[in-house]
Amino acid sequence: MIAYILRRIISVAPIALGVLLVTFLLFRVIGGNPAYRIAGKNATPAKIAQISHARGYDLPYFLNFEKFPQQLFHAQFPRLARNILRGDFGESLTSKMRVSQLLRDGVLPSLCVTTPLFFIELILAVALALLAAYYRDTWIDRSLVVLAVMAMSISSLVYIMVAQYWLASEWRLFPVWGFEGPQYLILPVLIGTVAGTGGTLRFYRTVMLDEMYQDYVRTARAKGVSPAKILFSHVLRNALIPILTNVIVALPFLYTGSLLLESFFGIPGLGRLLVSAISNGDEDVIFAETFIGAVLFVLANTLTDIAYTWADPRIRIK
């Protein structure tokens, strides 16, 4: 297993660089010279050339054949990759602050939203899925399925607009905007839970039903095992593989934050920072968040494979 973990950790760098390359192609190659966006509409060619030279936009994209062989890699993408790999994420174009500082400032607000949302949605979805599996083909099961499909079918934007208008503006039950205390997080977490539990419940219900029809469940019933023990000791334990996959893969998104909730509720987290960076063409922030998100996603997949061996002793990683 140690060799497997080492191989997966080593694979983080090429995968993250591949994601960074795609982002570079979209925002730098296809999007054009960022110096035009930085300088503004009425900028002179001299100003644009000055910005391009200062930020390295006048260099070749990938390889500098004009300075071969001494400075072959003195180009835009090798320079970007080298800086990011050593932890230098550059400077924000809009705020003129170091991107690393912006990331540190945005982590706590994002976690304050995503962490309670993650655990509430997980516990609620698993509990309702077990309830639906136990009362399968009854009105309880069908009602849960209908509610889950309805929740999945409505856009998150609709939940946000309706909740902000009625619960916040009209009834004044919650604050609409800001991040000044726990009360500012209740409505975003509530909306995120309602919007996300439907799809998760459908998935977990399917997993639980697959286990409920297995032979070991019928054998446990024939031996007189209580329904509660069947659900929690047998069904839930054997359904851990797909649940772990869904849970651990979602862990990186705790860091990256919620783009919609943070943007609409004025929470200064990493999700709102990324939305603002895309709108303003702040590519250093985009590159940093994309790279860190890719690294966390690969590590989460590795953690998922390791967790499989804990959930099912029959699985061995070689």
Instruction: Look up the CATH number of the domain holding residue 255.
Output: 1.10.3720.10
**83 and 106 together in one domain:** no
Residue 273 CA from chain centroid, whole number:
14
Instruction: Please report, in angstroms and rounded to a whole number, the separation of the first and last CA atoms in the chain.
Output: 6
**282 and 159 together in one domain:** yes
Q: Does residue 280 fall inside a structural domain?
A: yes
Average pLDDT over residues 76-83: 89
The burial of 137, by beta-carbon neighbours within 10 Å (0-12 exposed, 13-18 middle, 19 or more buried), is given as exposed
Residue 318 scores a pLDDT above 60: no
> Please, which pLDDT band fits residue 302 given cuts at 50, 70 and 90?
confident
Look up the domain containing 42 and give its range.
33-88
**237 and 307 together in one domain:** yes
Query: What is the rounded CA–CA span in Å between residue 101 and residue 91?
Result: 9
> Please, which pLDDT band fits residue 297 given cuts at 50, 70 and 90?
confident
> Please, which pLDDT band fits residue 159 given cuts at 50, 70 and 90?
very high
**161 and 55 together in one domain:** no
At residue 315, the pLDDT reads 66
Global pTM?
A: 0.84
**154 and 117 together in one domain:** yes
**80 and 162 together in one domain:** no
Q: Tell me the pLDDT of the chain averaged across its residues.
A: 86
**240 and 192 together in one domain:** yes
**71 and 173 together in one domain:** no
Q: Does residue 3 fall inside a structural domain?
A: no
Query: What is the rounded CA–CA span in Å between residue 306 and residue 5?
Result: 8
Query: What is the rounded CA–CA span in Å between residue 202 and residue 182?
Result: 30
Q: What is the DSSP code string of 84-133?
A: HHTT---B-TTT-SBHHHHHHHHHHHHHHHHHHHHHHHHHHHHHHHHHHH
**284 and 232 together in one domain:** yes
**72 and 213 together in one domain:** no
* pLDDT tens, residue by residue, 219-265: 888 888 888 888 888 888 888 888 888 888 888 888 888 888 999 99
Residue 71 scores a pLDDT above 90: no
At residue 146, the pLDDT reads 93
Q: Does residue 15 fall inside a structural domain?
A: no
At residue 273, the pLDDT reads 92
Lowest mean pLDDT among 26-30, 41-45, 188-192, 312-316: 312-316
- Distances in Å between the Cα of 302 and the Cα atoms of 7, 11, 308 are 10, 10, 10
**54 and 201 together in one domain:** no
Q: Does residue 285 fall inside a structural domain?
A: yes
**136 and 242 together in one domain:** yes
Whole-angstrom Cα Rg for the chain:
25
* pLDDT tens, residue by residue, 181-200: 889 999 999 999 999 999 99
Number of domains observed in the structure of the chain? 2
Q: Does residue 249 fall inside a structural domain?
A: yes
Q: Does residue 49 fall inside a structural domain?
A: yes
- Distances in Å between the Cα of 263 and the Cα atoms of 176, 183, 289 are 12, 17, 16
Task: Indicate the residue type of 159.
Answer: Y
